[in-house]
Amino acid sequence: MRSPALLFIALTSLALHAQASSPDAWAAYDKAVLASCTQASQLSHAKPVGKAAQFDDRVGYSALLLEGQYPQKHMKGQRGTELCLYHKQSKTAHVTEWDSVRPATPGQ
C-alpha cells in the first residue's frame, strides 16, 4: 500500500511540472530571453529571426538568432546577424557575431 505522503509528493511534483510548462510560463520565459538577448546585442535595432531554439535542460541554454544594423559609422548601417545563447540557470545572455549563417548580399 502506498503512503498518503508519497502520493501527495508525487502529485505535487506533477502539478509543479505542469505549471512550469504552462503557456503563460513559456510566454514569460520567451519574453525574458528576448529582452536579455537584445540587451546583450551589439547591433542597433536588434530583432529576433524566428523563435528561440530550446535545448534540453541538460544543456542549459536557449539559442536565439538576432538581426540588426551595425552601429559603427564605417559600417554604414550594414545588416548584421548575431547568435545569442541564453543560460537558463543564471538568466544571462551571451552574443557572438554570426554573419556567416546568411548568404552575403551582392555589393557587400
Task: Output the nine-digit C-alpha cell for 4.
Answer: 498518503
Total number of domains constituting the chain: 1
Note whether residue 108 is domain-resident.
Answer: no
Rg (CA), the chain: 20
Mean pLDDT score across all residues of the chain: 84
> What is d(CA 32, CA 91) in angstroms, rounded to the nearest whole number?
8
Q: Which of these, 75, 55, 71, 72, lies nearest to 63 by C-alpha position?
A: 55
**Domain extent for 78:** 4-101
Note whether residue 107 is domain-resident.
Answer: no
**Residue 82, pLDDT score:** 97
Bridge partners, 84 (sequence order): 64, 95
> What is d(CA 64, CA 57) in angstroms, rounded to the nearest whole number?
16
Determine what percent of the chain falls in helix, strand and coil, rounding each to the nearest 5: 40, 30, 35
Q: pTM above the 0.85 mark?
A: no
> What is d(CA 60, CA 41) in angstroms, rounded to the nearest whole number?
20
Note whether residue 59 is domain-resident.
Answer: yes
Please give the residue that has the higher pLDDT: either 106 or 47.
Answer: 47
Instruction: Count the neighbouring beta carbons within 10 Å of the beta carbon of residue 29.
Output: 18
Band (pLDDT 50/70/90 cuts) for residue 101 is confident
Q: Is the pLDDT of residue 2 over 80?
A: no
